[in-house]
Amino acid sequence: MDREYLIRLIFEYNPHLRGEKVEVPEFRRELYSEIEKWLPKKQIIAIVGLRRTGKTTLMQQIMEELGKEAVFFSFDEEETQKKEVLIFVIDFLINNFRPEYIFLDEIHYVDDWEGVLKRYYDTRNIKFVISGSESLELSKAKASLGGRIVTFKLEPLSFREYLELKGKKLEVRVDRLEIEKIEEIYMKFITEREFFEHEFLEYLYKGAFPELVNEDDESVIGKYIRELVVKKIIYRDIPTIFEIRRKDILFEIFRYACSNSSNLFEIKNLCNVFKADYETISNYLFYLQSAFLIKVTESYSRSLAKRIRRNKKIHITHPSIAFAVLNYDRDMLIEKILGQYVESIFAREFFWRDKQKNEVDVILENKTLVPIEVKYREQIGSSDLKGLLKFMKEYNIEKGIVVTKNLLEKRSIDKRKIFFIPAWLFLLIHE
């Protein structure tokens, strides 16, 4: 361990300790205010999420508010990813600067970091704010740390955040889904409908990542996502945390997810496709989920056993990732392709599918069930609503939603209300 090098790093990461002003972006993610509430409390704050979505920036913005009471260190460099380095850094910061807050970025790379923080938490009056790109490591730590840690997930940019980062001020803000008022809300946006429709397509193409919001060059966008997000995760992050024998299979499974986003899948079938055993495929899918590259959703049932047995759906975390990996340019994003990936944005924990293959794309489970069918197309006929109506009847649901390309209307069918809402508008009012 090179102590002089570590001390230099500490001062590089903390120019405010040398009296220099730190410039941080003014734009605040919506998660900022949620985290802010927990700063006065003793619990360790953990921020997790996909690479390049702004975790480090979020930490720096919080530090700016705290001033000299906060210090920062990152474990992104391989030579710093050791337990003794973590201990040295914390001790050096405490002994020399007596901070109230210590921010530790990419801490999941350090072995037994949770044991180290637990010791300081129990013996010193220090508040830790940490970040990581691997949910599994932080989940295991949460079990170890008990009630000493609270976790916040920083999602890819929402459509609303994307627009605000581009400088678009949204005068209308709806903090919960008020579909009964959807026509009234729509009228407030209608004069700029073409703008929102265009920006929604741009959001699908590049909008997950703050640094790409104002980038128009397709080659730059694609290379950024492939090199700085996907390859870093698959060839560095995941192998660092987990034992990976076949990185080639890991990447091919991810390519499969990109091509088949929003489709049903069976692990047994993937075993045949990739010539690998069940445990390997199952583990690799789990690793991709842990790194926030994919989402896996279950078929909704009130029976937990049925949820586990039924086939699941695989979704890419954001369409822009799939477009970069598959080398899609903007001209290739026709309606048929977009429909598949628009669904991935809305995907949550559940979809629904019965034995007759009737299906609903998304089931939101709050106080009541909200079924959402994604039909990103010009024409939507009665046959497109078959699965939605079947689910609503089976679970006695009065209201359902169809996410559309540009159709806005309300239909009453069999005494049930179906709200047709353009995708861009739904994201503005619901995220």
Q: Can you read off the two tokens belonging to residue 168? A: 């678009």
Taking a C-beta distance cutoff of 8 angstroms, is the pair 72, 105 a contact?
yes
Residue 311 and residue 276 in one domain: yes
**What pLDDT does residue 274 have?**
96
Q: Do 102 and 183 sit in the same domain of this protein?
A: no
Q: What is the pLDDT of residue 130?
A: 97
Shared domain for 78 and 147, answered yes or no, is yes
Domain end call among 154, 171, 195 = 154
Give me the number of domains the chain comprises: 2
For residues 174 and 139, state if they share a domain. no
Its pTM stands at 0.93
Residue 31's pLDDT band, with cuts at 50, 70 and 90, is very high
Residues 123-141 pLDDT 10s: 999 999 999 887 767 767 7
The pLDDT tens digits for 372-387 are 999 999 889 989 999 9
Average pLDDT, the chain: 92
Cα 257 from Cα 296, distance rounded (Å): 10
pLDDT for 243 equals 86
Q: CA-CA-CA-CA torsion for 383, 387, 391, 393, nearest 10 degrees? A: 20
Least confident of 30-34, 153-157, 284-288, 326-330: 326-330
- Is the same domain home to 89 and 188? no
Tell me which of 341 and 180 has the higher pLDDT: 341
| 164 shares a domain with 131 | no
Same-domain pairing of 169 and 285: yes
Mean pLDDT computed over 383-400: 96
Per-residue pLDDT tens for 299-326? 999 999 989 889 999 999 999 999 999 9
Residue 177: pLDDT over 60: no
| 189 plus 264 within the same structural domain | yes
Residues 126 and 174 in one domain: no
- For residue 172, is pLDDT > 90? no
* 145 and 217 share one domain: no
Q: Residue 21: its pLDDT value, please?
A: 86
Same domain, 167 and 278: yes
CB atoms within 10 A of CB 28: 16
- Structural domain of 282: 159-430
**Distance, CA of 191 to CA of 81 (rounded, Å):** 53
Neighbour order of strands in the sheet with 369-375: 263-265, 312-316, 294-299, 350-353, 359-365, 369-375, 399-404, 416-422, 409-413
Pairwise CA distance, residues 176 & 205, whole Å: 26
Last residue of a domain, one of 131, 154, 177: 154
186 and 406 in contact (C-beta within 8 Å)? no
Instruction: Residue 135: give its domain's CATH number.
Output: 3.40.50.300
Same domain, 28 and 174: no
| Domain termination site, one of 154, 169, 184 | 154
In this structure, the strands spanning 409-413 and 399-404 are unpaired
**Per-residue pLDDT tens over the stretch 188-232:** 888 899 999 999 999 999 999 999 999 999 999 999 999 999 999
